[in-house]
Amino acid sequence: SVERELFDALLKTRLVVSRSECGYSRCGRTDRGVSAASQSNTTTSTMNRLEKDMKEYPYSRILNSILPPSIRILGWTPVTEEFSARFSSGARTYRYFFCKRQMNMDLIRDGLRNLVGKHDFRNLCKMDVEKVYNFERVIHSAELIQLSTTKTGDGEEKDSNRHQDVYYLQIIGQAFLWHQIRYIAEVIFMVGRGYEPPSIISELLDVKKYPGKPSYCLADEKPLVLHNCSY
């Protein structure tokens, strides 16, 4: 995993002594097979910060010289001792990529609108009752976005990624439950294919009406990306 490679580099460069003693935290975790970008981690450096004139090491350059080419440290910044990469994040952005095919995009947009706000998502996640007892989460926005197109010299639109029917669901929330985005994507695609009405989202969020989780399939993990965690 990326995290394992990162920690191996931190240990080899002696920027940390051990995982248990460095105050490590991550902004988020993903399922196996799910991609992530622009992620944040916090650690406690082995440097003695009591010396005011001591300059910081070029951490990015040091770690990138050890890490494999597919993993790059883009930058770093000092934080307070109270900062947590996980709990200090105000929002997380997920994107789920897919091809339009025969789906109705207007129906998908209508279904996504029903996600916004504070809801109980126990019917749209994999329940882990041993670790989670509160299934309420806040969704800030849920959008359907088409990959951008560019204008050619003759004024015609040309898709910059050569896939004119490629879209992605962009869902921004404060925090998410296990498999929440993948279950949402599966139900949304059923809406787009006409198998369910857009109102099915609101109905599933009514846990009094549906106290037992319906047996929906789980959307594939490969098109899902944890795109960003903001602070």
The DSSP result for 59-101, as a single string, is HHHHHHTTS-TT----------TT--TTTT--EEEEEEEEE-T
Distance from the Cα of residue 146 to its chain's centroid: 18
* pLDDT the model gives residue 157: 54
CATH topology of domain 91-149+164-230: Alpha-Beta Plaits (3.30.70)
**Ranges of the chain whose pLDDT falls below 50:** 46-52, 160-161
* pLDDT the model gives residue 23: 76
Q: List the catalytic residue out of 31, 110, 159, 220.
A: 31
* pLDDT the model gives residue 40: 55
* pLDDT the model gives residue 51: 45
106 is catalytic: no
Instruction: Name the token pair of 144.
Output: 């359907």
* pLDDT the model gives residue 50: 40
* Cα–Cα–Cα angle for 110, 112, 116, rounded to 5 degrees: 120
**d(Cα 45, Cα 27) in Å, to the nearest integer?**
18
Domain boundaries, given as residue ranges, for the chain? 2-65, 91-149+164-230
* pLDDT the model gives residue 155: 53
> Is this structure's pTM higher than 0.85?
no
